[in-house]
């Protein structure tokens, strides 16, 4: 029987928690070091079958700090090396790709992503600091299984989402399935973990994919669709940003109430009241059987 | 009489200390939490005249962590805002510009840089996450004074250097003065601070500029030109990377032995033995009257 290890390197949505320029109620608690909240870096998961070689799911802008906080990701030899052997990208948002810039210095590893996500890297010459002769860029179609490391099979699956903000036009299409926002299924023998940090809506196919997993790490960005507007820190509803709410009749709790998997909310926005211990929103989420990811959470299957 | 405050947000060269994939002697001490070394994030300085509004010199990839470590840079209001009002860029290396990606979320501030440095941003659509209607990009010629904040006059000056790695061709020109690598002089009334994190060689004009300052924060990347080769972690000499050595007959100690300014080494590479307390190299540097920057160092004029 196989083994599948996952470490949550970062549990926050884009900007992290607290966010550099935010004074919303949860961020104010975090800036004040209130014990009811724990700071979180931007979302990324490390996966391994043997605790020696690690595959990252997305490369967060906070990756250097995340490596410092997680000794399993630190070099072992007296020269240059790293236990990080691959990075799997589920999209091309800043919080999913900017951390690649931390992985410079001519260290070999592989980047696995869809053609659209690799295209976003290709369009930015700054990523050529990862020289193509050193860091392989491997295009992977949705629905095609590949090995990101020995014994670690990976498959991208379609998820309703949106274009990255810096690529979208004036009138972006919302909640469409494209290969610039995908979920990822990790299989080690019969063990399955699904990671889906951004979903604008639930579909029958997405629900079935999550229902087949042992562990689901799912989009926990916003508790309610109008949360950022009510906090006075944004003008966009959650779905407009590519994220379905946790609460409500068509929210995540309702959509995934009866799947068997261990369910964990991740990619949590700084405005989300589930970040605050004791809040009614956190109580509701926990009563529904969900865990709330925090940095350093270890999952062993 | 004016007042000039500076905080070293990060004192390390590109990659930081320790560097994610490095097992050189100093990094091994840092990974082991040896008390002889202090970790350092990538080089950036915050400047202010009133301790309320702050101007950053370069935007390091570690900027989010640096804001978390420095309460003066954290938001004060209940909505979105920031005491960071401007970023002045002295080059377009990853460790000078990638931190701009942390400053997204539609927060107004100004970027001041040469045309060549702004051109490197323009060539990468990922930086359009800083919408031009929100974040101004101000081109500034070398030698022309401008105000980065009220009472804070800034001037770029020429420094021998090289192109950023991700822009250079197969046969890069070395130690040439271009506007893609500059130094910066900060003046508040008669107080002067010079920041020069990358210099491939000393010139009479550069030396005079530094001699006229009250405080100099200068390129402390490498102690010796062949340091990375001898550590077994690189194939390039220091000057090839745009950095003159600290030691030796044409090194920084010799070139700036008799200027009156308070002298501080910054942008220190992870291989540099001055990072290790008690090392002969650190003793030599300190005996020559230099300080060694560390994260959080405050300078008040």
Complete edge-to-edge strand list for the sheet that includes strand B135-139: B135-139, B109-113, B84-88, B54-57, B44-48, B5-10, B298-300
Q: Do B210 and B256 meet the contact criterion of CB atoms below 8 Å apart?
A: yes
Q: Do A216 and A196 meet the contact criterion of CB atoms below 8 Å apart?
A: yes
CB pairs under 8 A between A and B: 147
Closest residue in A to B23 (Cα) is A78
User: Rounded distance, CA A57 to CA A217, Å?
Assistant: 11
**Helix/strand/coil for B28:** helix
Q: Taking residues B133-141, what's their average pLDDT? A: 97
Positions in chain A short of pLDDT 70: 1, 165, 168-174
End-to-end CA distance of chain A: 10
Neighboring chain A residues of B127 at a CB cutoff of 8 Å: 166
Give the model's pLDDT for residue B270: 96
Closest residue in B to A39 (Cα) is B68
**Which of A14, A18, A20 to mutate against chain B (most B CBs within 10 Å)?**
A20
User: Rounded distance, CA B243 to CA B196, Å?
Assistant: 11
pLDDT in tens, B4-53: 999 999 999 999 999 999 999 999 999 999 999 999 999 999 999 999 99
Among the partner residues A63, A75, A232, nearest to B79 by beta-carbon distance = A232
pLDDT at B171 over 80: no
Helices and strands, counts by H and E, chain A: 8, 14
Segment 25-54 of chain A within 8 Å of chain B by CB: 27-28, 31, 39, 41
Cβ within 8 Å, pair A24-B78: yes
Give the model's pLDDT for residue B169: 65
pLDDT in tens, B93-131: 999 999 999 999 889 999 999 999 999 999 999 999 999
Give the model's pLDDT for residue A38: 98
Closest of B68, B12, B61 to residue B40, by C-alpha: B12
What percent of chain B clears pLDDT 90, i.e. is strictly above it?
Answer: 85
Give the model's pLDDT for residue B162: 81
Report the range of poorest mean pLDDT among B28-37, B63-72, B112-121, B222-231.
Answer: B222-231
Among the partner residues B16, B71, B105, nearest to A21 by beta-carbon distance = B105
State how far residue A265 is from chain B, nearest Cα, in angstroms. Answer: 23
Cβ within 8 Å, pair B103-A76: no
Among the partner residues A22, A81, A128, nearest to B21 by beta-carbon distance = A81
Neighboring chain A residues of B167 at a CB cutoff of 8 Å: 125
Among the partner residues A61, A123, A125, nearest to B102 by beta-carbon distance = A61
Give the model's pLDDT for residue A172: 65
* Pairing relationship of beta strands A84-88 and A109-113 according to DSSP bridges: parallel
Among the partner residues B20, B103, B233, nearest to A20 by beta-carbon distance = B103
Q: Which residues are B44's β-sheet partners? A: B10
Interface contact B109, partner A, CB < 8 A: no
**Which of B10, B17, B21 to mutate against chain A (most A CBs within 10 Å)?**
B21
């Amino acid at each position: 029987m196989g083994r599948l290890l996952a470490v949550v390197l970062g549990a926050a949505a884009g900007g992290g928690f607290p966010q550099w320029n935010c004074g919303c109620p949860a961020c104010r608690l975090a800036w004040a070091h209130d014990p009811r909240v724990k700071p979180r870096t931007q979302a990324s998961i490390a996966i391994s079958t043997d605790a020696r070689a690690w595959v990252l799911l997305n490369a967060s802008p906070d990756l250097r700090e995340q490596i410092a906080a997680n000794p399993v990701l630190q070099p072992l030899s007296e020269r240059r090396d790293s236990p990080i052997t691959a990075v799997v990208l589920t999209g091309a948002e800043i919080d999913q790709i900017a951390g690649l810039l931390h992985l410079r210095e001519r260290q070999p590893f592989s980047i696995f992503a869809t053609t659209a996500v690799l295209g976003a890297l290709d369009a930015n010459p700054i990523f050529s600091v990862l020289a193509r002769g050193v860091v392989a860029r491997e295009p992977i179609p949705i629905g095609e299984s590949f090995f990101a490391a020995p014994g670690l099979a990976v498959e991208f699956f379609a998820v309703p989402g949106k274009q990255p903000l810096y690529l979208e036009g004036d009138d972006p299409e919302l909640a469409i399935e494209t290969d610039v926002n995908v979920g990822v299924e990790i299989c080690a023998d019969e063990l399955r973990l699904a990671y889906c940090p951004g979903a604008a809506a639930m579909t029958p196919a997405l629900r079935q994919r999550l229902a087949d997993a042992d562990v689901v790490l799912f989009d926990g960005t916003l508790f309610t669709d109008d949360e950022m507007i009510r906090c006075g820190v944004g003008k966009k509803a959650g779905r407009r940003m590519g994220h379905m709410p946790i609460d409500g009749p068509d929210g995540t709790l309702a959509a995934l109430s009866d799947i068997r998997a261990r369910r964990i909310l991740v990619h949590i926005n700084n405005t989300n009241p589930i970040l605050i211990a004791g809040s009614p929103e956190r109580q509701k989420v926990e009563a529904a059987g969900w865990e709330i990811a925090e940095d350093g959470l270890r999952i062993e299957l």
